[in-house]
Amino acid sequence: MVLDPTHHQYCVILAGGTGSRFWPYSRESHPKQFIDFLDTGKSLLQLSYHRYLKHFAKERLLVVSNVDYRTQLSEQLPELPEECLLLEPTHRNTAPAIAYAVRHIYALDPDAVVTVAPCDHLIVAPEEFVELVADGCRLAEKKSGEIVTIGIRPTYPETNYGYIQAVSRDENHTEGAGAQPYEVKTFTEKPNAEMAQVLMDSGEFFWNSGLFIARADTFITELKTHLPELTERLYARDEVWGTAEEESFVSAVLPYSPNISFDYAVMEKAEHVTMLLSDAGWVDLGTWSAIHSMADKDEQGNAVLGKGPKICNSCRNTLVVSEDPDRLIALEGMEDVVVIDHKDVLLVCKINDLDKIKQLIFDAGSIDRKFVE
């Protein structure tokens, strides 16, 4: 009998965010992971799930999301086994979500190697990217205590991504030996435009993909070391994990977890981190500007998406999104703006001011909650 070489390899897709930066399309009740932004016929969640099915067995491919999205998850991923869906009772960022998932998996398989992947990435060459993830799984399986991450070679000085500083560990690396490992020196937060250019020109800094691979016990150890205020409560009762009591225990405990990302809590402090480099055409669809960068554009840099009719006269570098076939969006002389028309909200914003969208959401909610829910 030949064992499946991936039989200890698991993948966790993080799909519990609210996607506020894609308002007004992304709302509290229908966030960005359930939306088909680029008219591909699949939502970001569906694209991610089917991408990782190329390597991971269905029974070892899990989705972590919020309990409020149970119905949408069932509708969009009817093939997802019920036992592979982990539902959080509240939104608490990526560190608590990962802590929940890896402890759940560890109870099922103490030898598990876990890939944690965001669901809001667009990959131009998915087969190549998944093969790199497979290399990362094999590396993490061999090196206990190591966290493997994937860095993206920057193609322009992006200010909306974090960066990883890393140098090659093996100058004599040969073709066919798997992906070349890089030693991670530091993680850098989103830079300003000038610093982004400096980082890119250095040749040592790469975009942070937010994808992490490690043995389940390594994730648990790192979380206990760097985020005890989470694990002392969440990991307090070993006997409930992997039993019928697990769900109710997590529902009672997780709301008291700190609201913190895994990058801040662990990755910036972890001492043993290896990076694998990807050139697979990766985009983090985190903002409307990212959608604009990926969409087909005319000679003036204008992109139009959705079924609604649009006119862009004497415009440059604009993004117009509208789905209503009975509502015409007409622009004259606009430059560097996004115009997003969705249901009861029309958003008009300078592309460079999209980081202020959370204030708009707050203001809209103070007028009437229907504009954000």
Tell me what the mean pLDDT of segment 158-183 comes to. 75
Beta strands at 181-188 and 61-66: parallel, antiparallel or unpaired: unpaired
The string of pLDDT tens digits covering residues 300-346 is 999 999 999 999 999 999 999 999 999 999 999 999 999 999 999 99
The chain-wide mean pLDDT, for the chain, equals 92
Please give the pLDDT value at position 170: 65
pLDDT of residue 1: 38
- Reported as a pLDDT band with limits 50, 70 and 90, residue 150 is very high
> Quick one: tokens of 27?
């709302």
Whole-model pTM? 0.90
How many Å is the Cα radius of gyration of the chain?
21
- Percentage of the chain modeled with pLDDT above 90: 79
pLDDT in tens, 76-88: 999 999 999 999 9
Host H or E run for residue 99: helix 94-108
Closest among 21, 43, 25, 33 to 344, alpha carbons compared: 25
Residues 6+ apart with CB under 8 A from 313: 330, 331, 332, 333
CB atoms within 10 A of CB 37: 22
Other C-beta atoms within 10 Å of 336: how many?
17
Which residues, 6 or more positions from 259, have their beta carbon under 8 angstroms from its beta carbon? Answer: 91, 92, 93
Distance of CA 275 to the CA centre of its chain: 17
pLDDT digits (tens, 9 = 90+) for 224-246: 999 999 999 999 999 999 999 99
Domains of the chain (ranges, CATH numbers): 9-286 (3.90.550.10), 289-371 (no CATH)
Q: Copy the structure tokens of residue 279.
A: 């050139």
Q: CB 332: neighbour CB atoms within 10 A?
A: 9
Sequence-ordered list of residues with C-beta below 8 angstroms from that of 150, at least 6 positions apart, any chain = 132, 133, 136, 209, 211, 275, 276, 277, 278
Contact 317, 331 (CB under 8 A): no
Alpha-carbon distance of 160 to 208, in angstroms, equals 10
pLDDT at residue number 160: 81
Residues sharing a CB contact under 8 Å with residue 198, sequence separation 6 or more, in sequence order: 191
Whether the per-residue pLDDT at 255 is higher than 80: the answer is yes
pLDDT-derived band at 174 (thresholds 50, 70, 90) equals very low
Amino acid code (one letter) for 345: V
Q: Which two tokens stand for residue 307?
A: 């079924």
| Residue 275 bridge partners (DSSP) | 149, 182
Q: What is the mean pLDDT of residues 161-182?
A: 73
User: Where in the chain does DSSP place strands (E)?
Assistant: 9-14, 61-66, 85-88, 113-118, 121-123, 147-152, 163-168, 181-188, 205-215, 273-278, 282-284, 303-305, 310-313, 319-322, 329-332, 337-342, 345-350
